Homo-oligomer: A and B are copies of this chain.
Amino acid sequence: MRDVAIIGASMTQFGQRDAWIRELLAEAGDACLDDAGVEPSALDHLYVSNMASGEFEGMTGVPNALAHDLGALGAYTQRVDQTSSSGGAGIYAAWQSIASGASDATLLVGGEKMTHKTTAESTDVIASLTHPAEYKHGVTLPSFAGLTARHYLERFDAPRESLAKVAVKNHENGTRNPHAQFQKEVDLDTVMESPIVADPLRLYDFCPITDGSAALMLVPADDAESYVDSADDYAVISGVAGATDTHVVHERDDPTVMGGVVESGERAFDMAGLEPDDVDVAELHDMFTILEFLQMEGLGFAEHGKAWERVEAGETTMDGDLPINTSGGLKSKGHPLGASGVAQGVEIYEQIVGEAGPRQVDADVALACNVGGFGNCVITTILEAAA
Contact = CB atoms under 8 A, between A and B. Distances in A.
Contacts of A241: 76, 102
A63 B93 contact: no
B92 A96 contact: no
Contact of A373 (B61, B81, B263, B377): B61
Given A54-B128, A58-B128, A102-B99, A243 B64 contact: no
Interface in A346-377: 372-373, 376-377
Interface on chain A toward B: helix, strand, loop, or mixed SS? mixed
Interface stretch (A5-13, A152-160, A203-211, A245-253): A245-253
Contact of A100 (B99, B243, B245): B99
A183 interface: no
Contacts of A115: none
A242 interface: yes
A76 B54 contact: no
A237 to B, nearest CB: 12
A51 interface: yes
Contact of A55 (B55, B99, B131, B242): B55
Interface string A225-259: 00000000000000001111111100000000001
A242 B79 contact: no
A64 B244 contact: yes
Nearest to A48: B81
Contacts of A64: 83, 129, 244, 247, 372-373, 376-377
A277 to B, nearest CB: 25
Contacts of A80: 78-81
The complex is assembled from copies of this chain, and their number is 2
Contact of A377 (B77, B248, B376): B77
A65 interface: yes
Contacts of A74: 243-244, 259, 263
A326 interface: no
A135 to B, nearest CB: 9
Contacts of A299: none
A320 interface: no
Contact of A242 (B73, B76, B246): B76
A244 B76 contact: yes
A129 B60 contact: yes
Of the listed residues A63, A72, A95, A248, the one surrounded by the most CB atoms of chain B closer than 10 A to its CB is: A63
A125 interface: yes
Interface string A73-112: 1111111111100000100110111011110000000000
A278 to B, nearest CB: 22
A75 B244 contact: yes
Contacts of A52: 54, 60
A92 B102 contact: yes
20 contacts: A52-B54, A52-B60, A59-B132, A60-B125, A61-B128, A61-B129, A61-B372, A65-B247, A67-B247, A73-B259, A74-B243, A75-B243, A76-B92, A76-B242, A76-B264, A77-B242, A78-B81, A78-B377, A96-B102, A99-B100
Given A64-B372, A75-B243, A79-B80, 11 more contacts: A52-B60, A54-B54, A64-B129, A64-B376, A64-B377, A76-B242, A76-B377, A77-B377, A79-B82, A96-B96, A99-B101
